[in-house]
Each structure stands twice: as C-alpha cells, then as structure tokens.
Chains A and B, each alone.
Chain A
Amino acid sequence: MHDMEERVIGALAQLELGDRLLTSPAAMASFGSDALTAFHQRPLAVVLAESVDDVVRAVRICHRERVPFVARGSGTSLSGGSLPVEGGIVIALNRLNRVLSVDPDARTATVQPGVINLDVSRAAASHGLAYAPDPSSQSICSIGGNVAFNSGGAHCLKHGMTSNHVIGMTVVLPDGELVTLGSDSTEPAGPDWVGMFCGSEGLFGIAVEVTLRLVPVPEAVRTSLAVYDSLQAAGDAVAQIVSAGLLPVAMEIMDALAIEAAEASVKPNYPSGAALLIVELEGEREVVDGDAARLDELLRASGASETTATEDPDARGLIWKGRKSAFSAVGWLAPDYIVQDGVVPRTRLGEALAEIDRMSAEAGIRVANVFHAGDGNLHPLILFDGREPGAVERAEHLAGEILRLCVSLGGSITGEHGIGVEKRAYLSLMFSPDDLALMGDVRRSIDPLELANRGKMLVPETVS
C-alpha cells in the first residue's frame, strides 16, 4: 500500500466509524459497480455515513489528501454514475434514510439523500399527497441519486423531472463546506442554484438534505392499453393525442420484443401485437371522465386493433409492473443488453424508430424498444451475448449510432439516465467546444481538484 493510501485510511480511521469504514476487498465488493455492470472499479475505502457530519468529515479528508470521492445511494445508475474511482473513497448514503418532515400545508417533504424514492410517497400518503417523479427503479433508488442525475420516469410528461420537484437542499461542497440552496418555497429569488445543482451528476458535491414538492394523490387514475400493427401507428396515435390538447400523465410504447420479454418475466397479460401503447389519465373524477371519452374516441380513430381501459388498482399495478420491469425482463431474451436513453422531438419518433429498426437489421442485432413516447424518450435495448467474440463492441457501436441518430434529429443523448461514464464521449455531439469549456470552468470553480465524482459527465482535465 502506498504512503498516501495509508495516510488516507489512517485519517478515515480517526473518524471512529468502527465497522462503518470498509477497506477489505470482500467488504467493498458490492460497491465496485452500479447498474451499468460492464464497468467495475475498486475503491480504496467505503464510508457508511450515518450523519451529515460523517459526510462533511469524510469529504474534508478527501479534499485535504486530494483523493477523489463518489457518493453512492442504492447504486441503480444506468450510466455508471455511482461507479467508484479506482483508489478513491465511496461515501455511502443509504443510512441517511430519514424523512425529516412532511408539511402538508406547504405540500413539501424534507428528506435525507438515502431515502428511497417510493418511501417519500409512503410518508406523504396520510396527507393525501405523493412525490411525483417515478423512475422504474423507484422501489429501490434513493433521492440523492435522483437529484444528482435528475431522474425521470414514466410520469414526466405531465409532472416533469426530479429537478422540477426539488426546491431546496443542503449540500456538502467538494471541499467540505456546507451550503444551503433554495428554500421550502417553490419560488426562488436570485439565480436558481437548486436547479443548477440537480442533474450535476455529483460533480458539485453531495446533497445531504433535500426539500421536495409533493402533489395531491389523484382521486381517479385510468390506464388504457391500445394495440397497433406497427410502432409507427402507435407513435402517430401519440402525436394525435397531443394535438387534440389532451395532457395524459404518461404515454408509453412497447414493441413486440419488449412485450414478449415482459410476458416471459412478470406476465402482465398484455394483448399481443406489434406495438402496445399505454396511456394514463389522472386527476379529478369529472376531469378523468371527460378526458377518457375524448381519448377513447382518439384511440378508435387512430387504427388501434384492440383497446382496453381500467381503473382497477391491481390491474393497473400489473400493467406498470410489466412496463417498469422491461429492462430486467429482456434478460429472458438475451444474456446481455445495453439500454440507451436518447431523446428525439416527439414528431420525429416514427422516423427514429424506423431508422433504429433498419440499423438493427443491418447490424444483425436484436433491439427491443420500450419508451416514454409522450416525451420522445427512447429506451432501445440492444441485445447481445457477451460470450461471442466482438459482440460487445458491435452492440456498443450500434448504441453509439443510435445516439448520433437522436442528436441528428434534434434530440439528446440522454433523457433521464445521465451521461455518467457511459456517454462522456458523446457529449460533444450536442455541445460545442465553447459549451464544454464553460461546463469545465463551472465544474472547476466548484471543485478545482476535480475530486467529486471524477470521471463522470466531463472528461477529467487533471490526473492526480
């Protein structure tokens, strides 16, 4: 072990964390990677923080010793956002998992970063309130990670992303300074520092307390399924719904392969077809009834071969279980897969899907499509078998081509998973050298040593 490593571990030991300081390879094994399993790094140590003070003191040691650190919640990042830095420190926040307060009058909750997404809604339920952002991993992912990566979910169409629901926070900057940003009011005065912190992928430090907006639990929720004989037809239906002035809370499309995967795993009993459109309406009884009548008419006119709708909570739960487990379900279809997260303008969805289909056929690689159609947010699942020579590279090449396609259509390389380590090389497709230089300047203004989540989003400038 190097002198520096010994010194860092010695300093961390002084925090008297006991068994909350992990340094052995066996104890740290589960911290080596996140949901982007292709990447793996061995950290020097893992700190299991139980208090804000633990976080501050660990960060201060990292800053003093110039050791990079990575904050980690549940490790569900699909872009490698919580991948450790080799030889760096992991600061695990799972134990900072208390909902500190719920204010029903202000419709806010203040929580620690290790709180599980779904637990916010559970804590607010007795007041008839809920936390809107719903990433598919919401039963395990934590708020700290949601904030760092501005997570989305199926219900972004109406409710927006994580950053639209975060109004205040206390953060530990990369040198250990504690700063409060925003407040418990939805109205900021002065620059929206909170909005800037959200989605910064851990590069600005660690949020240790977060104030979230809550929404009223809708009294009626109606989920419709419509089957189409092509993805194009399903995509056109989405455009027609938007054009008609309806604002569903979610519009999702799954293709035949994704449906097959869902049926093989959680068995949601979807009607079979080339494309399945899920449309959810929510709100007051009268509003949902009125919108439902208009929606049914639109779906009939859009050429759906079969439509059903339900308000039954169990039936709805099964529909969403099938949709939200789609990523893991493709494990039934192939040993390995890459999930992409590109966005295209809604009106170019059909074009994008046709092109992905063509690219998939040309490469001889199966691609399952499941996506947030209302937002134009694609999730092509590129299936491969990593044991075949060159298969990984071919799949990665196709994934890159799909990202290029999204950008060329006026979209983005990521809608909700973030850049992480996975898409760093593609950021320059969207941003000019000046844009990237500015982002680098901003990052180094906060963290001149590039210690906080080094290697994510921006290619590091300094090497220690």
Chain B
Amino acid sequence: MIDTTDHVEAIAEAIRVGPRVLPVAGGTKPGLSRASGPDVVALDVSGLRGIIEYDPAELTLTALAGTPVAEVAQALADHDQYLPFDPPLAAAGATLGGVVAAATSGANALRHGGVRDFVIGVRFVDGTGRLVSGGGKIVKNAAGFDLPKLMVGSLGGLGVMVQLSFKVFPRPRATTTLAFDLPSREAQLETMARLNRGPVQVDALDLDRSGVLVRLGGDPDALAARARRLCEGVEADVQHFEGAADAAVWRDAAELSWVPAGSRVVRTGLTLRDVPGLDAALAPFAATVRYSLAANLAWIAWPGTRDLADLDAALRSLGRTGVVLTGTGTNAATDARTGGSRLIGAPTGGSFGSRIRSALDPHARFLES
C-alpha cells in the first residue's frame, strides 16, 4: 500500500495557507493547468502515483489521482480490460485526476459511456483542507451524494483529488475502422445519425475533414460481417483500416495530432443538430473542428492568432459551453477579454453550482473557471 499521508497533509496545508491553489500533474492540458494570476499556486500532485487495488474479476480499479493513464491502461490491457471512456492524451502523460477534472472522454467512449459513467469513487481534499470520500469501490452504489460525478469536469475547482475508483470493462477483442467519403455535410450528418441508432453498435463515430469515421469492436469472428452490415445502405466510398492502421486512426484522435500547430484546443458538448450552426460560426475564423461521439462533442482547434472572445460569443449563441484545454493565444490582449477563463461560452450550473461551490470551497481557495 502506498503511503499518501505526507502528500495529503501537504495538500491540505497548501490549501489552508492559500491564497489560491491549482492542482496540476501531467500538464497535458496546459490551458487548464496554467496558473493564471499572481495569487495562484500550482500544486503538483504527480507524486500521488500508483495503482492501489485492481482485481480483474471485480472489473474495478482504484489508483492515486496522479497516476498516468498509460500506466493504468497497461495494467488493464494485461488482463484484456480497458477504461471504456478512452481518455485522450495518454501517450503525452495525462493522469487519471486530469482526465476526471477535464472530463475528457475520448472517441471510443461512444460504446459504453464517458468519464462520468465510469468513475465510482473519489477521495479529495476540499477547500477547508478536509480529506473526504464519496462513492466507493463497487460498481453499484446509491449511498450519499454522488461526489465522484461532481469531480468530473470540476477543473480542480472543487477539491484536490487524491484517489479515484473506476468501473472497467473487458476490452473489445478486435477492432476495425471504416471511413465513409460522403458528398456533403448533410449526407455526413444523416449517415452519422443513422449509424448511431443501430442496430450495429459502433465503438466510435467521428466526423473529421476526411469524412465519417466509424470504429467497430468485438469478437474477431463477427467483425467482417458486422462491417458489411454497417456499409449496407450507405452510398459512399469506404476505406477500411485494419490492425496498425486502425490503431493509428484513433491514436491520432486521442493525441490530437490533427490539431494545427499554434492552435488552442477547445472542447464543447453539443448535439448533431448544432453542427451546421457551429460550422457556420467557425468558418470566418479558419478554425478546424473534429466532431466526436456521434457529434455529442466538438474538438475545436482555434487559431492562436484569433481572439478567443469570438469563440466565446459563438458558443454563447449556440447555448454551449467550451473548455479551453491547450495553448495560449499569441495575443495576450485578446485573451484578457475572456479573463483568461478556462470555461467559455454559456455559463453552467447557475445558483445550484455556486451554492455547492460555496460548501466545498467556502474561502475561494480554488479557481472557479
């Protein structure tokens, strides 16, 4: 068992001393881990590292919050299991705590659900320096408030996570990827909507510049037949990616390799119906966008030379909220217009959110957004 007492005490002390702390670990999402303001102390929690409990027969795993995703993924893969929410930026060094704080579900989360659907327990230090727990280490639990879910997307603003428990699943025994080259945006969206309704259940369904990308996972014996069914009724040229090529398609998605240099990555939830509106809003700014999770999610590569306030306004008009994950603008003056905020677009939570924040962080020791 890893002794975390010293770490926890140091975290609690840093919070008590203040004035404000921002937990950081892998630093793979610098838009979130950049300490903005002279009174903010970055608190490196990457020392909170290691798997505490993992019994493959339980389909659960508990690890310290600073544990790299890659380390966990390897331990799971050794038993043919995986984190079904497909956390991105693993190769770059993303940690479990960072994935939960940023709510970064990856493309393959379409099959079984996102971070919020697999985090089952949390220990964290709140804004008063108290070490508290929520949830547990079992897959089904209705006791007490769902603090593990509250940590999802909290951006380190509701507590410093120390330990996390997850539900895990058996990983698909084989995967294959199909790319559909469709003639128009309309045809792409229509195809995505149809594929997302089944009956063939897909692991990932993305829309990037090359077209509609679909990943199928499961029993190797059935994969070819399922892929044929998927293609039925789709009038498009289909490209197949197998083996290393299949892996490369989704590694590029997970590591954000498609993002043009000098761009900032903003992640926003939306629905398929919002796609034309977002396309139109982004067009004047030459921003690149990749839609994921059947267009429940947009990864926006916002040019560093452009004013983030314009994206903020575009998202507000769509009623959507974005998280600024990476990069800094080349023009500090334009950044000032969004106040260096890590959350842009429509505000969330209203007074429900501000009241809960006041309970977990009564002295405003954490960054709100």
Query: Which residue in B103, B142, B218 is a CB contact (below 8 Å) of A189?
Result: B103
Q: Which of B36-44, B51-59, B88-96, B253-261 contacts A (4 or more CB under 8 A)?
A: B51-59
Tell me if B114 is interfacial: C-beta within 8 Å of chain A. yes
* Chain A residue at minimum C-beta to C-beta distance from B81: A245
Task: Give 1 or 0 for each of A186-198: 1 = CB within 8 Å of chain B CB.
Answer: 1111111101111
Q: Which A381-418 residues sit within 8 Å CB-CB of chain B?
A: 410-418
Note all chain B residues with C-beta closer than 8 A to A199.
Answer: 142, 145-146
Query: Which residue in B117, B139, B144, B351 is a CB contact (below 8 Å) of A457?
Result: B144
Tell me if B155 is interfacial: C-beta within 8 Å of chain A. yes
Query: Which residue in A200, A345, A413, A442 is a CB contact (below 8 Å) of B360?
Result: A442
Q: Which of A13-21, A316-324, A330-338, A425-433 contacts B (4 or more CB under 8 A)?
A: A425-433
Tell me if A304 is interfacial: C-beta within 8 Å of chain B. no
* B271–A103 CB distance below 8 A: yes
Tell me if A464 is interfacial: C-beta within 8 Å of chain B. no
Number of interface residues of A (CB under 8 A): 97
* Chain A residue at minimum C-beta to C-beta distance from B102: A189
Determine the distance from Cα of A163 to Cα of B148 in the docked complex, in whole angstroms.
12
* A246–B170 CB distance below 8 A: yes
Tell me if A306 is interfacial: C-beta within 8 Å of chain B. no
Query: Which residue in B197, B271, B353, B358 is a CB contact (below 8 Å) of A190?
Result: B353
Note all chain A residues with C-beta closer than 8 A to B269.
Answer: 183, 185-189
Q: Which of B14-22, B244-252, B332-340, B342-350 contacts A (4 or more CB under 8 A)?
A: B342-350
* B103–A445 CB distance below 8 A: no
Tell me if A184 is interfacial: C-beta within 8 Å of chain B. yes
* B145–A442 CB distance below 8 A: yes
* B219–A290 CB distance below 8 A: yes
* Chain A residue at minimum C-beta to C-beta distance from B267: A189
Q: Which B167-219 residues sit within 8 Å CB-CB of chain A?
A: 169-170, 173, 193, 196-201, 218-219
* A216–B144 CB distance below 8 A: no
Taking the closest CB of chain B, its distance from the CB of A2, in whole angstroms, is 31
Number of interface residues of B (CB under 8 A): 88
Note all chain B residues with C-beta closer than 8 A to A186.
Answer: 113-114, 269, 293, 296-297
* B103–A347 CB distance below 8 A: no
* B170–A150 CB distance below 8 A: no
Determine the distance from Cα of A106 to Cα of B197 in the docked complex, in whole angstroms.
9
Query: Which residue in B57, B58, B103, B356 is a CB contact (below 8 Å) of A188?
Result: B103
Note all chain A residues with C-beta closer than 8 A to B116.
Answer: 164, 188, 192, 195
* B140–A372 CB distance below 8 A: yes
Note all chain A residues with C-beta closer than 8 A to B262.
Answer: none
Task: Give 1 or 0 for each of A124-137: 1 = CB within 8 Å of chain B CB.
Answer: 00011100000000
* Chain B residue at minimum C-beta to C-beta distance from A220: B199
Taking the closest CB of chain B, its distance from the CB of A256, in whole angstroms, is 25
Q: Which of B68-76, B301-309, B317-325 contacts A (4 or more CB under 8 A)?
A: B317-325
Given A185-B271, A375-B140, check contact A105 B193 (CB 8 Å): yes
Tell me if B286 is interfacial: C-beta within 8 Å of chain A. no
Given A127-B197, A190-B349, check contact A415 B56 (CB 8 Å): no
Determine the distance from Cα of A425 to Cα of B11 in the docked complex, in whole angstroms.
32
Given A345-B58, A346-B58, check contact A445 B141 (CB 8 Å): no
* Chain A residue at minimum C-beta to C-beta distance from B222: A286
Given A128-B198, A199-B142, check contact A185 B323 (CB 8 Å): no
* A104–B271 CB distance below 8 A: no
Determine the distance from Cα of A16 to Cα of B321 in the docked complex, in whole angstroms.
40
* Chain B residue at minimum C-beta to C-beta distance from A409: B138
Q: Which of B1-9, B23-31, B125-133, B232-240 contacts A (4 or more CB under 8 A)?
A: B125-133
User: Can you name 8 A-B residue pairings with CB atoms under 8 Å?
Assistant: A128-B199, A179-B351, A195-B150, A283-B201, A284-B200, A410-B136, A439-B145, A442-B360
**Besides the contacts A183-B269, A185-B271, A430-B144, what 11 more A-B pairs have beta carbons closer than 8 Å?**
A103-B271, A164-B113, A186-B269, A190-B349, A191-B152, A195-B146, A347-B57, A412-B143, A413-B143, A431-B144, A441-B360
* Interface of A toward B, CB cutoff 8 Å: 103-108, 127-129, 149-150, 152, 156, 158, 160-161, 163-164, 171, 173, 177, 179-193, 195-200, 204, 216-219, 239, 242-243, 245-247, 283-284, 286-287, 289-291, 341, 343-347, 372, 375-377, 410-419, 423, 427, 430-432, 434-435, 437-439, 441-446, 457
* Interface of B toward A, CB cutoff 8 Å: 55-60, 80, 103, 105, 112-114, 116-117, 126, 130-134, 136-147, 149-155, 157-158, 169-170, 173, 193, 196-201, 218-219, 221-222, 225-226, 229, 267-273, 293-294, 296-297, 319-323, 343, 345, 348-353, 355-356, 358-360, 369
The 10 closest A-B pairs by CB, nearest first: A195-B149, A216-B198, A187-B269, A185-B269, A445-B359, A189-B321, A245-B170, A286-B222, A105-B193, A179-B350
